[in-house]
């Protein structure tokens, strides 16, 4: 009886050790942060990274970029996210934006879908807050980066000129993504 209990305990410990080993060996996202971006403390555990992109001359505010990860099979489809991001921008007359640009590319084995849309930024200030931004002359660049571990969601938003200033570094940032 004693040997049976010991054998069972050894089997359980070994199985648990293998599971921990498998989890710890899971690939994680690596990327290169462009020069000039300012690292900010993450305000949520769902945020992988958070940056301030300094404003260009003439703009009143900095842009912000956040990378989200919700877990494998979490965070919604590409289409749902693109639709949500486009819905966060309105035309000057308050109607939906119709000229959002969507592109796809592959980098380091990861599929990336981007969206680029300008207008009045009307997203909630915080999910479920019931208060909304109302920032005219804004631009939103966002991306879904598909990985075997689940998708990563990247959102850059700020005044149009500031986002335009950082557009090339946004694209190089996305192209630096890789799993290690």
pLDDT band at 1 (very low <50, low <70, confident <90, very high): low
Q: What is the DSSP letter of 108?
A: T
Q: Which two tokens stand for residue 38?
A: 């300012």
pLDDT in tens, 108-159: 999 999 999 999 898 877 777 777 788 889 999 999 999 998 999 999 999 9
Candidate ranges 26-30, 93-97, 132-136, 144-148; pick with highest mean pLDDT: 144-148
For the chain, give the mean pLDDT.
Answer: 84
Lowest mean pLDDT among 22-36, 39-53, 83-97: 22-36
Q: How much is the average pLDDT of 44-51?
A: 90
What residues pair up with 141 in beta bridges, in sequence order? 116, 156
Q: Domains of the chain by range and CATH?
A: 29-179 (3.40.1000.10)
Q: What is the DSSP letter of 132?
A: B
pLDDT at 7 (0 to 100): 45
CA atoms of 51 and 137, how far apart (whole Å): 21
In the chain, what's the furthest Cα-to-Cα distance? 80
Report whether 180 contacts 111 (CB < 8 A). no
Q: Which two tokens stand for residue 154?
A: 């990247």
Q: Which two tokens stand for residue 88?
A: 């966060």
Q: How much is the average pLDDT of 19-33?
A: 59
- Of the candidates 72, 76, 77, 75, the one whose C-alpha atom is nearest the C-alpha of residue 149 is 72
pLDDT band at 46 (very low <50, low <70, confident <90, very high): confident
Angle (CA) 157-163-167 rounded to 5° is 115
pLDDT at 25 (0 to 100): 37
**SS3 state of residue 20:** helix
pLDDT at 124 (0 to 100): 75
- Of the candidates 161, 154, 162, the one whose C-alpha atom is nearest the C-alpha of residue 53 is 162
Cβ neighbour number for residue 158 with a 10 Å cutoff = 28
The pTM is what? Answer: 0.81
CA atoms of 9 and 22, how far apart (whole Å): 20
Q: Which two tokens stand for residue 46?
A: 């769902």
Which residues have C-beta within 8 Å of that of residue 144, sequence separation ≥ 6? 78, 81, 82, 112, 113, 151, 152, 153, 154
φ and ψ of 140, to 5 deg: -120, 125
């Amino acid at each position: 009886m004693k040997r049976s209990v010991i054998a069972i305990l050894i089997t359980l410990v070994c199985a648990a050790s293998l599971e921990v080993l498998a989890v710890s060996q899971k690939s994680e996202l690596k990327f290169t942060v462009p020069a000039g971006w300012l690292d900010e403390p993450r305000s949520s555990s769902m945020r992988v990274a958070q940056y301030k992109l300094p404003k260009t001359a003439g703009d009143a505010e900095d842009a912000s970029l956040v990378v989200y990860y919700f877990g494998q099979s979490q965070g919604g489809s590409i289409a749902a996210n693109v639709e949500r991001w486009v819905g966060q921008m309105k035309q000057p007359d308050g109607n939906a934006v119709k000229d959002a640009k969507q592109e796809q590319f592959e980098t380091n084995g990861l599929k990336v879908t981007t969206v680029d849309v300008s207008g009045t930024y009307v997203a909630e200030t915080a999910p479920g807050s019931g208060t909304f931004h109302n920032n005219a002359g804004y631009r939103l660049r966002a991306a879904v980066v598909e990985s075997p571990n689940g998708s990563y969601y990247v959102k850059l938003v700020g005044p149009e000129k500031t986002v335009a200033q950082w557009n090339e570094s946004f694209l190089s940032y996305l192209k630096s993504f890789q799993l290690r």
